Amino acid sequence: MIQIAICDDRKEDIQKLKDYVGWFSGEHPDIPLKAEVFISPYDLLEAISSRGGYDLYLLDVIMPRLSGIDIARKIRERGETAEILFLTTSREYAVEAFGVKASGYLIKPVKKADFENEVLSCINHLAPKDNPAILLKTKEGIRKVHIQEIAMIESFNHSRVCTLADGTTVETPATLSSLYEQLRKGSQKGE
């Protein structure tokens, strides 16, 4: 199941995207999508912190107080490799989008064919069967880490440090046995 977060301050735009998600799932029953919607960027950030992030984000660029670009930066600061599509009326934010490794844009009003093409492209990059993930509890909240990213896990005092392939580390209070079990189950899903 591909987890999607939609964040837009316009209810009409959210409803249209929810309808497209339902239509997409009907057209592509082999690629089940589950969408959660957020009108407030702060509610989205709280959900990410408590549940561990999503596979795909559809973020309105222009929102009061916190832009889609700002949200994307916070997602990337967490180390998430999720796909990000921006929702906008123009492409003037291309440079900022490049800086947060966005997958692309959906120009409003979003057309069904554009939605399908962009979401399929993102799903192909995600390849969840080939890249299973585990959820790690951290001081910042829950973080999704793809198993292929983990280079090493070490135990120090009362915490475990997962060193990732890019050299960054994720510290978690999880026990080695619980990490082993998550890795084992995650590896089996990828088979």
Q: Where are the domains of the chain?
A: 2-126, 133-189
Q: What percent of the chain has pLDDT over 90?
A: 46
Query: Residue 29 carries which DSSP code?
Result: T
The listed CATH number (3.40.50, 2.40.50, 3.30.70, 2.60.40) that belongs to domain 133-189: 2.40.50
| Tokens linked to 170 | 């994720």
For residue range 35-45, list pLDDT tens digits in order: 999 999 999 99
Phi, psi of 94 (to 5 degrees): -60, -40
pLDDT at 126 over 80: no
Q: To which H or E segment does residue 170 belong?
A: strand 169-172
Stated pTM of the model:
0.71
Q: What value does the mean pLDDT take over residues 6-11?
A: 95
Which band of pLDDT confidence, cut at 50, 70 and 90, is reported for residue 189?
A: low
Q: Which residues contact 128 (CB under 8 A, 6 or more apart)?
A: 2, 55
pLDDT at 91 over 90: no
**CATH class given for the domain over 2-126:** alpha beta
Three-state SS at 64: coil
Task: Among 36-45, 96-105, 126-135, 172-181, name the one with the lowest average pLDDT.
Answer: 126-135
Mean pLDDT score of the chain: 87
pLDDT at position 131: 66
Q: What value does the mean pLDDT take over residues 137-145?
A: 81
Residue type, 60: D
Q: What value does the mean pLDDT take over residues 56-79?
A: 92
Which band of pLDDT confidence, cut at 50, 70 and 90, is reported for residue 79?
A: confident
Number of neighbouring beta carbons within 10 Å of residue 46:
13
pLDDT at position 151: 92
pLDDT at position 105: 86
Q: What value does the mean pLDDT take over residues 22-51?
A: 91
Nearest C-alpha neighbor of 108 from the set 87, 94, 93: 87
pLDDT at position 12: 95
